[in-house]
C-alpha cells in the first residue's frame, strides 16, 4: 500500500490538531495494528514530543503504568511508535530520511503542524500530504477561515493532480446546537464549496485534556496507549466510530478486511 502521509491540519490554533494526532496515531498503532510514526513540526512548542517525554517519566515512576506498558509490549511485541521532532524547514525531506532509516515500513506518518500556516515551508509540507483532516468549530470566524483554508488546499490538491483527500470534521460540538445549526452549515455553506464533512463529530468535553495521571484505569489521550473505551463511557465521544470512518477513506482495503474478519468470526 505504501506509506501514507496524514495530517490533522488547520490554520487555526487550539482546534484539536495535536489532540487528534495523538488519539488517532495511538488507536491505529496499538489497536488496529498499523505501523505509525509521528513527526512533530510544531516548533518550538513540540507539544506531542513533550507529551511523549512527560509520559515516559510517568511510566517509569508509576508502577501501574509501568506494568501496563510492559504487558502491552508483551502482547503486541512492538515498542511505542516513534515521535520525531522536526526543526528543519524541509519537512518532506525529513520524512523521507525517517522512511529511509527505518527498519519497519510505516503505513501512516502523522504530521503535526503549527497553528499558524504563514510560512512557505509549512504550506509546501501540507501540499505534500496524502490526506488532510481538518477540525472545525461552529464559530463564525473559525468557520470562515477554516473553510477558506480547506477550499484553497482542495484546489491545490486538484491542481497538482492528486485526489482531493480532504475531510473536515466538527470538533467541540455543542450538543444543544447539534442538528439544526450544524446541518444548516453542512448544507448551505460547506457542500456548495464541494468540501466533505465526516459523519462522526466530537462533543466539547473535558476528557480531551486528560493525559495519563495517577490513575491508570482511564487512559484517554496518550502516546503510549490507545484511548480506553472506559475513559469515555457515558459521553458521546465515539473515537472508535470516527476511526472506522477515517479508515474507510485512508485504507481502501479496510472495509474488506472488516468484512473478512466478520465472516471468519461467524464461521468459528
Ligand X SMILES: Nc1ncnc2c1ncn2[C@@H]1O[C@H](COP(=O)(O)OP(=O)(O)O)[C@@H](O)[C@H]1O
Binding residues for ligand X (CB under 6 A): 13-19, 115, 171-172, 202, 204-205, 208-209
Q: Which is nearer to ligand X, 15 or 190 (CB)?
A: 15
User: Considering the complex, what minimum distance in angstroms separates the CB of residue 169 from ligand X?
Assistant: 10
Q: Considering CB distances under 5 to 8 angstroms, the limit depending on partner class, which of Mg ion, ligand X, none binds residue 14?
A: ligand X
Interactions with Mg ion, residue window 8-27 (CB under 5 A): 17-18
Q: What is the DSSP letter of 233?
A: T
Q: Which of 224, 159, 163, 226 is nearest to 196 (CA)?
A: 163
Q: Which of 171, 170, 176 is nearest to 196 (CA)?
A: 170
* Contact status, residue 152 vs residue 193, Cβ threshold 8 Å: no
DSSP run (H or E) holding 6: strand 4-8
Q: Which of 198, 178, 204 is nearest to 244 (CA)?
A: 198
CA distance 38 to 54: 16
User: Considering the complex, what minimum distance in angstroms separates the CB of residue 206 from ligand X?
Assistant: 6
Q: Considering CB distances under 5 to 8 angstroms, the limit depending on partner class, which of ligand X, Mg ion, none binds residue 201?
A: none
Q: Which is nearer to ligand X, 22 or 154 (CB)?
A: 22
Close Cβ partners of 238 (under 8 Å, ≥ 6 residues apart):
200, 232
User: Considering the complex, what minimum distance in angstroms separates the CB of residue 222 from ligand X?
Assistant: 13
The greatest distance separating any two alpha carbons of the chain, rounded to the nearest whole angstrom, comes to: 55
* Contact status, residue 146 vs residue 140, Cβ threshold 8 Å: no
Q: Considering CB distances under 5 to 8 angstroms, the limit depending on partner class, which of ligand X, Mg ion, none binds residue 51?
A: none
Q: Which is nearer to ligand X, 14 or 241 (CB)?
A: 14
User: Considering the complex, what minimum distance in angstroms separates the CB of residue 178 from Mg ion?
Assistant: 25
Q: Is the dihedral of CA 184, 189, 193, 195 positive or negative?
A: negative
Interactions with Mg ion, residue window 44-73 (CB under 5 A): 47
What is the grid cell recorded at 84?
520525531
Q: Which is nearer to ligand X, 237 or 251 (CB)?
A: 237
Strand partners, 8: 133
Q: Considering CB distances under 5 to 8 angstroms, the limit depending on partner class, which of ligand X, Mg ion, none binds residue 80?
A: none
Q: Mark the segment that binds Mg ion (CB under 5 A) among 2-10, 41-49, 92-100, 158-166.
A: 41-49
Q: Which is nearer to Mg ion, 84 or 254 (CB)?
A: 84
User: Considering the complex, what minimum distance in angstroms separates the CB of residue 12 from ligand X?
Assistant: 7
Positions touching Mg ion (CB under 5 A) are 17-18, 47
Amino acid at each position: 500500500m505504501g506509506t501514507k502521509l496524514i495530517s490533522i491540519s488547520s490554520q487555526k490554533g487550539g482546534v484539536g490538531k495535536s489532540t487528534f494526532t495523538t488519539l488517532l496515531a495511538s488507536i491505529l498503532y496499538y489497536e488496529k495494528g498499523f505501523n505509525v510514526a509521528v513527526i512533530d513540526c510544531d516548533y518550538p512548542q513540540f507539544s506531542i514530543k513533550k507529551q511523549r517525554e512527560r509520559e515516559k517519566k510517568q511510566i517509569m515512576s508509576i508502577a501501574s503504568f509501568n506494568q501496563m506498558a510492559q504487558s502491552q509490549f508483551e502482547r503486541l511485541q512492538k515498542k511505542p511508535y516513534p515521535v520525531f521532532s522536526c526543526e528543519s524547514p524541509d519537512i518532506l525531506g525529513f520524512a523521507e530520511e525517517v522512511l529511509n532509516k527505518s527498519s519497519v515500513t510505516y503505513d501512516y506518518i502523522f504530521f503535526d503542524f503549527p497553528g499558524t500556516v504563514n510560512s512557505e515551508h509549512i504550506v509546501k509540507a501540507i501540499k505534500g500530504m496524502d490526506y488532510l483532516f481538518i477540525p472545525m468549530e461552529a464559530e463564525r470566524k473559525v468557520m470562515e477561515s477554516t473553510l477558506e483554508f480547506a477550499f484553497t488546499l482542495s484546489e491545490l490538491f486538484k491542481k497538482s493532480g492528486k485526489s482531493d483527500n480532504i475531510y473536515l470534521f466538527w470538533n467541540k460540538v455543542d450538543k444543544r446546537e447539534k442538528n439544526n445549526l450544524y446541518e444548516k452549515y453542512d448544507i448551505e455553506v460547506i457542500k456548495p464549496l464541494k468540501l466533505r464533512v465526516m459523519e462522526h463529530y466530537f462533543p466539547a468535553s473535558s476528557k480531551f485534556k486528560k493525559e495519563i495521571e495517577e490513575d491508570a484505569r482511564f487512559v484517554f489521550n496518550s502516546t503510549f496507549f490507545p484511548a480506553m473505551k472506559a475513559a469515555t463511557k457515558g459521553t458521546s465521544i465515539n473515537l472508535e466510530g470516527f476511526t472506522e470512518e477515517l479508515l474507510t477513506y485512508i485504507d481502501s482495503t479496510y472495509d474488506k478486511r472488516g468484512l473478512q474478519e466478520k465472516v471468519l468470526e461467524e464461521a468459528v
